[in-house]
């Protein structure tokens, strides 16, 4: 009898806890990103540059998308907005169902740190730091370096094929190896979302292939990936192409 009363208390407490948690938790959206009528205008010398002029699309969890278009068509502007590095002039950007269009700088940097990994054309490594130290850099800013995080850096270096290069400084690496470090660094906070601006722009054809294979593996493991590229052979390896012209979408193979 006493045991059954205790059990009933346990069940009630568990139920209350579960209910409370389900009320507190943000519901998981079906979409990694939703962009609604996005505009980004710059005022320059008395003229308005419409870098983005009414762009709308949705990206489901686990998609692999290329953003393509001529120079000046608005690709980097769009990627920077998706990456919470900037705010739109008007329109809505939702990430994981949360409207990030007009959040404070502090909240935007929290979202960047927890949800988004960035990969750059020119790698943006610190030349004098080793492979492991470069992967660790985002953690310095968050003040969370410990034995566990260092092991995680080692695991990521291995994941991108650099287990034999852990102590190399980045100037001692090839371009492809440097981009692997850049990819490992982008993964350090286990983001759901990877954004890359011309990640293969400085690489030869064979190395481009290797980096694309790595990105495809990460996508197969569940990462949502958006890359900006000029190269049709890169765009064609993704699952969807969004093509921009003069700040507008002229083609979306996933729409
Ligand atoms: N800070 C800024 N101030 C004024 N105009 C800007 C600014 N940033 C971008 N632009 C303009 O917005 C337009 C889109 O620029 P964006 O960098 O997004 O192009 P892009 O498609 O990435 O080009 P590229 O392929 O050359 O990198 C361009 O006309 C550019 O000159
Ligand atoms: Mg650009």
Report pLDDT digits (tens) over 132-171. Answer: 999 999 998 888 888 999 999 999 999 999 999 999 999 9
Structure tokens at 1: 């009898």
**Residue 21 domain-assigned (yes or no):** no
Contact of 255 with 226, CB cutoff 8 Å: no
Does 1 map to a domain? no
CA distance 88 to 81: 7
Nearest residue (CA) to ligand 1, atom 10: 51
CA-to-CA distance for 69 and 75, rounded, in angstroms?
7
Pocket flag, ligand 1, residue 54 (CB < 6 Å): no
Q: How far is the CA of 199 from the centre of ligand 2 (A)?
A: 11
Three-state DSSP class for 124? coil
pLDDT of residue 68: 98
Do the domain assignments include residue 83?
yes
Give the CATH number, domain containing residue 230: 3.40.50.300
Query: How far away, in angstroms, is 37 Cα from ligand 2 center?
Result: 20
Ligand in nearest proximity to the CA of 69: 1
Buried b (16+ CB within 10 A) or exposed e, 187-198: bbbebbbbbbbb
Neighbour count for residue 208 (Cβ, 10 Å)? 21
Q: Which atom of ligand 1 is nearest to the CA of 244?
A: 21
* Whole-angstrom distance, CA of residue 182 vs CA of residue 160: 10
Best residue among 49, 70, 89 to mutate for probing ligand 1's pocket (most ligand atoms within 8 Å of CB) is 49
* Residue to substitute in 40, 41, 42, 67 for testing ligand 1 pocket (most ligand atoms within 8 angstroms of CB): 42
Does residue 19 sit within a domain? no
| pLDDT lower than 50: segments of the chain | 1, 5-25
Question: Is 5 inside a domain boundary?
Answer: no
Which tokens in the block code for residue 153? Answer: 């850096």
Atom of ligand 1 nearest to the CA of 77: 18
134 token code pair: 């470069």
Is 178 among the domain residues?
yes
What's the pLDDT at 27? 52
In a domain, 53, yes or no: yes
Exposed/middle/buried for 143, CB within 10 Å: 0-12, 13-18, 19+? exposed
Query: Do residues 219 and 62 touch, judged by C-beta distance below 8 A?
Result: yes
Each residue of 76-99: pLDDT tens digit?
999 999 999 999 999 999 999 999
With respect to residue 8, please indicate whether it lies within any of the assigned structural domains.
Answer: no
- What total number of domains does the chain contain? 1
Q: Domain span at residue 61? A: 27-252
Q: pLDDT value at position 1? A: 46
What pLDDT score does 145 carry? 86
């Amino acid at each position: 009898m006493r045991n059954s009363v205790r059990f009933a208390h346990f069940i009630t407490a568990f139920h209350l806890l579960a209910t409370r948690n389900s009320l507190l938790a943000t519901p998981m959206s079906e979409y990694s990103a939703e962009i609604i009528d996005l505009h980004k205008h710059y005022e320059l010398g008395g003229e308005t540059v419409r870098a983005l002029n009414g762009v709308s699309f949705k990206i489901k969890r686990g998609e692999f998308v290329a953003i393509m278009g001529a120079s000046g068509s608005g690709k980097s502007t769009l990627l920077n907005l998706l990456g919470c590095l900037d705010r739109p002039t008007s329109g809505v950007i939702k990430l994981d169902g949360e409207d990030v269009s007009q959040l404070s700088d502090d909240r935007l940097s929290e979202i960047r740190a927890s949800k988004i990994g960035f990969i750059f054309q020119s790698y943006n490594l610190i030349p004098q730091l080793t492979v492991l130290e470069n992967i660790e850099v985002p953690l310095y800013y968050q003040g969370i370096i410990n034995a566990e995080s260092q092991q995680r850096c080692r695991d990521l270096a291995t994941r991108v094929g650099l287990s034999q290069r852990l102590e190399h400084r980045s100037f001692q690496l090839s371009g492809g190896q440097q981009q692997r470090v850049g990819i490992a660094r982008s993964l350090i906070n286990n983001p759901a979302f990877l954004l890359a601006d011309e990640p293969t722009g400085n690489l030869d054809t064979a190395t481009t292939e290797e980096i694309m294979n790595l990105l495809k593996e990460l996508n197969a493991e569940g990462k949502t990936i958006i890359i900006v590229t000029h190269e049709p052979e890169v765009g064609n390896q993704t699952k969807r192409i969004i093509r921009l012209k003069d700040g507008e979408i002229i083609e979306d193979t996933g729409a």
